[in-house]
DNA sequence: AGGCGCGTTAC
RNA sequence: GUUGUAACGCGCCU
C-alpha cells in the first residue's frame, strides 16, 4: 500500500500543474490516510463531544477504520445529520453550528487532506483564511505595503457559509476532480441536513459550520472570486507606470537645490520642512490607478488608488460578479468605501489608515509617512478589555479567580495580557495597551488582596521584583515563585512585556508540505498491545477530555490507568476492549 | 523533538 | 455543556 505521504504528494504535483485528478474515490480505501486524520483530530476539544449519536473519539480503533473503508468500497456510506447548536458571537448575534458525528469527522478530514494537497498550490497569494502557514498577521502584513492607497473597499458577504450554492460548488469541484463517486460523496455530505430539537432539517444550501472540510470548501468556492479579481478586475483598474510627480513639490525641490548651491542652508532647510507638508506625487493623477486585494475567509479588503467614482464602480462590479457567478449576496450596506486618508477601514479587528503627509520623519530625515499604511488597535478594543477588569468605573477584583492559588492568578493575568498584545503586535499604537496594563495590574492586586484579606500595597510589596523585558530592558514586575524539590522553581510573572510594535517585515512564503509521518499516538495504536494488561486482541484507544480531569476527585485508591496516564501526561491510553470496558465501568479490579 | 496546556485573535 | 479551520505567543513535561 502506498503511504499517505506518497499519495498526497502525487496529488499535490497535479495541483501545481493545474491538471485534473482522477480515481480519487479509491484513495479513500487507504488506511494510512485515516490514521493521519485520527492523529490530526484527536487533540481537538470537540473530539469528545457527541454528534447525533453517542459516538466520539473514545474507543477509536483500526477495526473502526477498516469498517469505514469496507462501507465506502460498497458505496454505502451514510452521512449522519449534524447536531445543531448555537454559540454566541462577539457582536451578540448567534452562530449556528453543525456538529458531525465522530466517524463523519474522520472521513471529512481524509477528504480535506486530499483537497488541501490538490488545491493549496493553486490558491491565491492574497487568500489567508483557514490556510496552513497563513493567518491574520500575514494578511495584515500584506496590507502594510499598500502605499498611496486612496480608497478602501471593505467587502462583506451576507451569511457566507450558510449560502454557498451546492450546485455551483459541485460544478467547481467536478471541473478538476474527474471522479463521479467522489463528487457524489461530497454531494451527499452537503445534503445530510441537521437535527435541531430532535427534528430533521434539510440543508438546501451552505456548508456546515463546524464541519471539518467546510473551511476548505469555502476557500475553493471563493477561489473563483480571487481568480476573477486578479485576472480581470485588477488589470482593468491598473493604469500607468508611476504616479505623475507633483509640480509644486518639484518646484520646491528646484528651489532647495538653488538655495543650497548659493550656500543658504538655513532657508533651504525651511523649504525642506515646507515640502514635507505636500505629497511628492499628484494624487489626482487620472492616468495612474492601482488596485490591491486581500481576503480572509469571507472578509476581503481592496485598496484603490484612483477616483471615488471608479471605487464605486469596482464595488458594483464585485456585487454583480458574486451574484451572477457564485449566487452570493454582497451586503450593500456593510460593504463600505472609505477614504483612506480620513477614515479608518476595519479588517481583522484592526483599523487601517493611510497616514497623512509630514507627520513622521524617520531617523535618516526622510519622510516616512507619505501615504504609508498604518495598522492600529481600535480604541474600542482597549476600552472593552479594560471594562472586563472594572466595575463602576474602577478596577476591581475577579471573583472567579479567588479560589486559585497566587501562582495561577498571576499566570492567568499575564497570559490574557500577553495573548492580546501578541495579536496586536503590528499596531503602531500598541503602546495604548499601557492603559489596560494599569487596570489589569490593579485588578490583579485587588484579587490577591481580597483573597488574603490584605491590602494592595502589602501584596505589591510581597511580590515586587524586576525582570528583563521582551525588549531587553530591566523593568519592575510581580513574581510568584514556587519552589520544588530537585527541580528548578516555577515562576509566574506579571509584567515584562514590551509594547514596541513589530515593524513591517518581509512576508516569507513557507512552502506547503503535505501532512504525513506517524505521530506517537499512531505508533502506539499500531503496536496493537494493551498498555494495561498486555493483551493483543481488540485494541482500541481510551480518550479523556483533559489531563486535569484525572486528578479531580479525591479517590482513596487511584486506578492504575489513571496513574499511567498522569505519569506520562497523555490524554490517550491504548487498551484492549476488556480493559476499556472495565475503565468505563469504574471496575478497577482488572486494571489495578 | 514531540506531547500537553494556557492565553489571544480571525472567520 | 461550545463546533470547526487556522495563526500567533508563552510555559511545562519526557
Regarding whether A45 and A117 lie in a shared domain, the answer is yes
Please say which residue of A361, A376, A391 terminates a domain: A376
* Strand C close to A47 by CB, under 7 A: yes
A157 φ/ψ angles, rounded to the nearest 5 degrees: -105, 125
Within A 532-571, residues with CB less than 7 Å from strand C = 569
Hey, which bits of A318-473 come out as E strands? 336-339, 345-347, 350-354, 373-376, 390-391, 394-395, 464-468
Regarding whether A566 and A487 lie in a shared domain, the answer is no
Cα A386–Cα A390–Cα A391 angle in degrees, nearest 5: 150
Nucleotides of chain B touched by protein CB (<7 A): 2-11
* Strand C close to A490 by CB, under 7 A: yes
Cα–Cα distance, A76 to A184 (Å, whole number): 12
Regarding whether A68 and A185 lie in a shared domain, the answer is yes
What is the nearest nucleotide to A548, using C1' and CA?
A: B5
Model pTM score: 0.90
Q: Is residue A271 part of a domain?
A: yes
Q: Is residue A239 part of a domain?
A: yes
Q: Strand B neighbours with CB under 7 A?
A: A 39, 43, 90, 129-130, 135-136, 160, 215, 296-299, 348-349, 385, 412, 415-416, 418-420, 422-423, 517, 519-521, 546-548, 569-572
- Residue A590: predicted pLDDT: 43
Regarding whether A473 and A437 lie in a shared domain, the answer is yes
Q: Beta partners for A158?
A: none
Cα–Cα distance, A192 to A211 (Å, whole number): 12
* Strand C close to A10 by CB, under 7 A: no
Nucleotides of chain C touched by protein CB (<7 A): 1-13
Residues A266-296 as b/e (b if ≥16 CB within 10 A, e otherwise) read eebeebbeebbeebbbbbebeebbbbbbbbb
> In this structure, how many other beta carbons lie within 10 angstroms of the beta carbon of residue A418?
14
Contact A82, A211 (CB under 8 A): yes
Question: For each successive 10 residues of chain A (592 residues), what is the average pLDDT?
Answer: 87 95 96 92 90 92 95 96 85 83 94 94 93 91 92 92 94 96 95 89 90 94 96 93 65 73 77 68 72 94 95 96 95 90 92 74 54 92 92 92 92 93 93 94 95 95 93 92 89 93 77 82 92 93 87 69 88 93 74 40
Q: Is residue A320 part of a domain?
A: yes
CA A314 to C1' B9, whole Å:
30
CA A441 to C1' B4, whole Å:
29
Q: Is residue A214 part of a domain?
A: no
* Strand C close to A457 by CB, under 7 A: no
Q: How many helices (H) and strands (E) does chain A have?
A: 20, 20
CA A392 to C1' C10, whole Å:
32
- Residue A276: predicted pLDDT: 65
Q: Is residue A224 part of a domain?
A: no
Within A 65-124, residues with CB less than 7 Å from strand C = 83, 85, 87-88, 97, 99, 105, 109, 112, 116
* ipTM exceeds 0.85: yes
- Residue A196: predicted pLDDT: 87
Q: How many domains does chain A divide into? A: 4
Regarding whether A40 and A80 lie in a shared domain, the answer is yes
- Residue A589: predicted pLDDT: 46
What is the nearest nucleotide to A425, using C1' and CA?
A: C8
Q: Is residue A507 part of a domain?
A: no
Cα–Cα distance, A562 to A531 (Å, whole number): 12
Regarding whether A384 and A310 lie in a shared domain, the answer is no
Cα A486–Cα A492–Cα A497 angle in degrees, nearest 5: 135
Q: Which residue has the cell 481580597?
A: A450
Q: Is residue A504 part of a domain?
A: no
Using CA atoms of A313, A317, A319, A323 in order, give the dihedral in degrees to the nearest 10.
Answer: 160
DSSP letters spanning A207-254: --BTBSSHHHHHHHHHHHHHHHIIIIIHHHT-B-SSPPBPHHHHHHHH
Tell me which residue range forms the domain holding A560.
528-585
Q: Is residue A219 part of a domain?
A: no
Amino acid at each position: 500500500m502506498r503511504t499517505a505521504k506518497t499519495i498526497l504528494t502525487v496529488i499535490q504535483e497535479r495541483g501545481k500543474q493545474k491538471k485534473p485528478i482522477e480515481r480519487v474515490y479509491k484513495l479513500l480505501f487507504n488506511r494510512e490516510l485515516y490514521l493521519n486524520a485520527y492523529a490530526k483530530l484527536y487533540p481537538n476539544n470537540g473530539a469528545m463531544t457527541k454528534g447525533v449519536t453517542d459516538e466520539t473519539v473514545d474507543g477509536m480503533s483500526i477495526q473502526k477504520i477498516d469498517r469505514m473503508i469496507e462501507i465506502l468500497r460498497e458505496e454505502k456510506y451514510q452521512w449522519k445529520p449534524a447536531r445543531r447548536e448555537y454559540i454566541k458571537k462577539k457582536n451578540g448575534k448567534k452562530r449556528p453550528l453543525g456538529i458531525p458525528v465522530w466517524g463523519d469527522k474522520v472521513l471529512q478530514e481524509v477528504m480535506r487532506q486530499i483537497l488541501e494537497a490538490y488545491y493549496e498550490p493553486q490558491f491565491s497569494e492574497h487568500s489567508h483564511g483557514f490556510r496552513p502557514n497563513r493567518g491574520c498577521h500575514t494578511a495584515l502584513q500584506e496590507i502594510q505595503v499598500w502605499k498611496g492607497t486612496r480608497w478602501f473597499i471593505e467587502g462583506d458577504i451576507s451569511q457566507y457559509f450558510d449560502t454557498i450554492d451546492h450546485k455551483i460548488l459541485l460544478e467547481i469541484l467536478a471541473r478538476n476532480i474527474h471522479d463521479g463517486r467522489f463528487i457524489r460523496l461530497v454531494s451527499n455530505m452537503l445534503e445530510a441536513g441537521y437535527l435541531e430539537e430532535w427534528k430533521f432539517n434539510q440543508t438546501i444550501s451552505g456548508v456546515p459550520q463546524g464541519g471539518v472540510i467546510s473551511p476548505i470548501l469555502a476557500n475553493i468556492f471563493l477561489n473563483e472570486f480571487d481568480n476573477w479579481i486578479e485576472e480581470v478586475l485588477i488589470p482593468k483598474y491598473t493604469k500607468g507606470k508611476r504616479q505623475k510627480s507633483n509640480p509644486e513639490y518639484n518646484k520646491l525641490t528646484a528651489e532647495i537645490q538653488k538655495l543650497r548651491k548659493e550656500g543658504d542652508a538655513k532657508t533651504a532647510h525651511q523649504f525642506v520642512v515646507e515640502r514635507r507638508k505636500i505629497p511628492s506625487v499628484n494624487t489626482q493623477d487620472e492616468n495612474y490607478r492601482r488596485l490591491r486585494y486581500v481576503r480572509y475567509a469571507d472578509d476581503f479588503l481592496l485598496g484603490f488608488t484612483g477616483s471615488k467614482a471608479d471605487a464605486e464602480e469596482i464595488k458594483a462590479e464585485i456585487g454583480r460578479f458574486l451574484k451572477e457567478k457564485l449566487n452570493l449576496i454582497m451586503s450593500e450596506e456593510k460593504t463600505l468605501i472609505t477614504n483612506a486618508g480620513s477614515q479608518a477601514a476595519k479588517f481583522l479587528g484592526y483599523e487601517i489608515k493611510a497616514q497623512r503627509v509630514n507627520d513622521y520623519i524617520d531617523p535618516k530625515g526622510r519622510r516616512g509617512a507619505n501615504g504609508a499604511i498604518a495598522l492600529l488597535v481600535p480604541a474600542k478594543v482597549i476600552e472593552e478589555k479594560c471594562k472586563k477588569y472594572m466595575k463602576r468605573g474602577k478596577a476591581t477584583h475577579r471573583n472567579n479567580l479567588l479560589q486559585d492559588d497566587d501562582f495561577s492568578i498571576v499566570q492567568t493575568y499575564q497570559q490574557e495580557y500577553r495573548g492580546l498584545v501578541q495579536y496586536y503586535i503590528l499596531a503602531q499604537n500598541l503602546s495604548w495597551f499601557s492603559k489596560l496594563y494599569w487596570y489589569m495590574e490593579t485588578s490583579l492586586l485587588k484579587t490577591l488582596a481580597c483573597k488574603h484579606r490584605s491590602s494592595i500595597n502589602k501584596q505589591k510589596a510581597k511580590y515586587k521584583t524586576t525582570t528583563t523585558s521582551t525588549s531587553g530592558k530591566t523593568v519592575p514586575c510581580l513574581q510568584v515563585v514556587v519552589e520544588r524539590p530537585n527541580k528548578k522553581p516555577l515562576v509566574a510573572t506579571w509584567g515584562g512585556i514590551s509594547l514596541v510594535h513589530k515593524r513591517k517585515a518581509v512576508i516569507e512564503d513557507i512552502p506547503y508540505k503535505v501532512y504525513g509521518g506517524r505521530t506517537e499516538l499512531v505508533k502506539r495504536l499500531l503496536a496493537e498491545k494493551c498498555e494495561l494488561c498486555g493483551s493483543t486482541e481488540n485494541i482500541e484507544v481510551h480518550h479523556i477530555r483533559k489531563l486535569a480531569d484525572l486528578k479531580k476527585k479525591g479517590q482513596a485508591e487511584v486506578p492504575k490507568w489513571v496513574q499511567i496516564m498522569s505519569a506520562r501526561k497523555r490524554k490517550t491510553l491504548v487498551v484492549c476492549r476488556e480493559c476499556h470496558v472495565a475503565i468505563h465501568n469504574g471496575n478497577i479490579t482488572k486494571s489495578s
